[in-house]
Structure 1
Amino acid sequence: MSIDPRVALQSLTAALEEHLVAASARRGEGDPTVEAAFFAVADAFEVYEDSLYEAYSEVTPLQVFDDDEEDQDEDNNELLDEDELEILDQ
């Protein structure tokens, strides 16, 4: 079942708007409303990206990062000394 990219884009836009509303009404760190809106944006983006590719063989210049990927990057950076990190940043 394919989804029209225009419909997926409308869902993504709505998810982004909901995220903005949640972020502006945030009640401290780890607000569950903000967290839910965050994941809704990520999910809606993936649906849009998939539908765009399926319909037009096209992708966006954006990428959703998993927490696991960020944690792995942080773990890898902890193993490097400051000189090695400087080289990586260049």
Structure 2
Amino acid sequence: MSIDPRVALSSLTTALEEHLIAASNRRGDGDPSVEAAFFAVADAFEVYEDALYEAYNEVTPLQVFDDEDDEDEDSDVDDEDLEIVEE
């Protein structure tokens, strides 16, 4: 069953608006409502991207990164790439 890209886009827009509301009402670092809104945006984007591809064989120029991607990038740094600054 495919999802209409317009419906998925509407869900993504709603998720983005809810994220903005949560961010503007943040109650400190690690606010669970902001975190939930963050993941809702990521999930809605993936649904939209899949619907867009299935309907039109098209993608967006955007990409969702997760924590695992960040950890992989951090481990890819070679010692040779690091610059040592001595004072």
**TM-score (norm. length: structure 2):** 0.89
CA distance in 2, matches of 1:82, 1:21: 41
- The unaligned stretches of length 5 or more in structure 2 are none
Count of matched residue pairs: 83
CA distance in 1, matches of 2:32, 2:78: 30
Are 1:81 and 2:85 matched, yes or no?
Answer: no
Q: CA RMSD in A?
A: 1.4
Q: What is the 5 A alignment of 1:27-46? A: 27-46=27-46
Q: How many percent identity over aligned positions?
A: 72
* Greater Rg over alpha carbons, structure: 2
More helix by share: 1
Q: What is the 5 A alignment of 1:1-90? A: 1-77=1-77, 79=79, 80-82=81-83
**TM-score (norm. length: structure 1):** 0.86
Q: CA deviation at 1:78?
A: 6.5
Which ranges of 4 or more aligned residues in structure 1 deviate by more than 4 Å? none
CA distance in 2, matches of 1:29, 1:65: 20
- The unaligned stretches of length 5 or more in structure 1 are 84-90
